[in-house]
Amino acid sequence: MAPYALLAPSLLVLAAILGFPMYRLVSLSFQQYGLRELFAGKGTFIGLDNYREVVTDPFFWTVVVRTVLFAGVCVGLTMVLGTLVALLLRNLARPMRVAVTAGLVAAWAMPVLTAISIWQWMFDFEFGVVNWLLTKLGADGFQQHNWFDQPLQGFSVIVLVVVWGALPFVAITLHAGLTQVPAELEEAARVDGAGAWQVFRHITFPVMKPIFLILATLSTIWDFKVFTQIWVLLNQRPSREYFLLGIWSYSESFGVTRYGKGAAIAVIMVILLLVVTSFYVRQMLRAVGP
């Protein structure tokens, strides 16, 4: 009985205000639910029509590929750079390590909204320090350059903002995890002639694997549903070239008040995310045990 008693309070809260809305989300996705239904407080069941409409729209596949690519780039960069910074921290003398940790913590502590406005200002087309720097370095065409005219460039800025915000968490968590790797093991490997990469590949990584898995899963989840960064960086009016699944779902619901279709997109997004992360989840469950 003990575990159930311990779980009960959390589960009650989650069921009441998370479970029910999730059920409502799914039921909405099978309904015609627009402005009229909103006032009436009741939708009409239309089966799979919303899903049919979404999936047959060529735009859907564009958005799916874009979302997967975007999340993949963000997660990849965050994990690789985070690992490098964590390993770097371990190799620094104490004063420098404290300084770098402080820098990471400062960036980590920045609220998303703050980070967004900082980068918006740094990438300002007219007085932004980034355009100034690129021009100074001899790059052409960056005077009065608007980064968001071109989706590829715009997305680079968005990736930068996302990775800048996510990196400290990954780096600091990995660095904390590194302290749990038995120093004797690594030393023994080094004595046996293993290089830095081999030590990482065969000793550090296997010991740290659970932490890597958790971080990769969380990053995937977060970067798959990135919303605020794009929404605010593009002044709450992103063009369709910037739509990811989350933005599309939001704008179908609140922009053109088609809540049923928006809900269908959201459900598809959750399923897609499940497929993408099922690999990690399986690995994690193996680590957790039956």
Partner 1 sequence: MTRRQLARAGYNAAAVLVLLVTLFPIYWMVATGFKRGVDILSFEPRWLPVPGTLENYRSAIAKPYFLQDVRNSVLVVVATVLISLVLAFLAALAAARFNFRGRAALIVMLIVVQMVPLEALIIPIYLMLDGAGQTDRLAGIIVTYLTFVLPFAIWTLRGFIVNIPEELEEAAMVDGCTRAGAFRRILLPLVAPGLVATSVFSFILVWNDYLIAYVLLRSPEKQTLGIWLASFTTNHGTEWGGVMAGSTLFAIPAVVFFLLVQRRVVSGLTAGAVKG
Q: Looking only at residues 256 through 285 of this chain, which bind partner 1 when binding is defined by CB under 8 A?
A: 259, 262-263, 265-267, 269-270, 273-274, 277, 281, 284-285
- Of 84 and 188, nearer to partner 1 (C-beta) is 84
Q: Which of 68, 73, 100, 134 binds partner 1 (CB under 8 A)?
A: 100
Which of the stretches 53-61, 71-79, 200-208, 223-231 binds partner 1 when contact is defined by CB under 8 A? 223-231
CA count, 13 A, side-chain hemisphere, 192: 11
Helix 58-90 with 205-224: angle, nearest 10 deg? 140
Main-chain dihedrals φ then ψ at residue 94, nearest 5 degrees:
-50, -50
CB of 80 to partner 1, least distance (A): 14
Q: Which of 73, 122, 134, 185 binds partner 1 (CB under 8 A)?
A: 122
Q: Contact between 106 and partner 1 (CB under 8 A)?
A: yes
Footprint of partner 1 on 162-191 (CB under 8 A): 164, 168, 176, 179-180
Footprint of partner 1 on 64-93 (CB under 8 A): 85, 88, 91-93
CB of 32 to partner 1, least distance (A): 15
Distance CA 234, CA 157 (A): 11
Residue 208 to residues 7, 204, 243, Cα–Cα distance (Å)? 28, 6, 36
Tokens 């899963």 sit at which residue? 217
Q: Which of 44, 114, 150, 239 binds partner 1 (CB under 8 A)?
A: 114
Length of the chain: 290
Q: Which of 35, 40, 105, 139 binds partner 1 (CB under 8 A)?
A: 105
3-state secondary structure of 103: helix
Considering only CA atoms, which of 201, 176, 182 is closest in space to residue 85? Answer: 176
Sign of CA dihedral 185, 190, 196, 202: negative
CB of 290 to partner 1, least distance (A): 7
Tokens at 39, concatenated: 């006032």
Footprint of partner 1 on 7-46 (CB under 8 A): 7, 9-11, 13-14, 17-18, 20-22, 24-25, 28
Distance CA 257, CA 260 (A): 9
Q: Which of 59, 61, 227, 279 binds partner 1 (CB under 8 A)?
A: 227
Footprint of partner 1 on 126-155 (CB under 8 A): 126-127, 129, 132
Stretch (H or E) spanning 44? strand 44-45
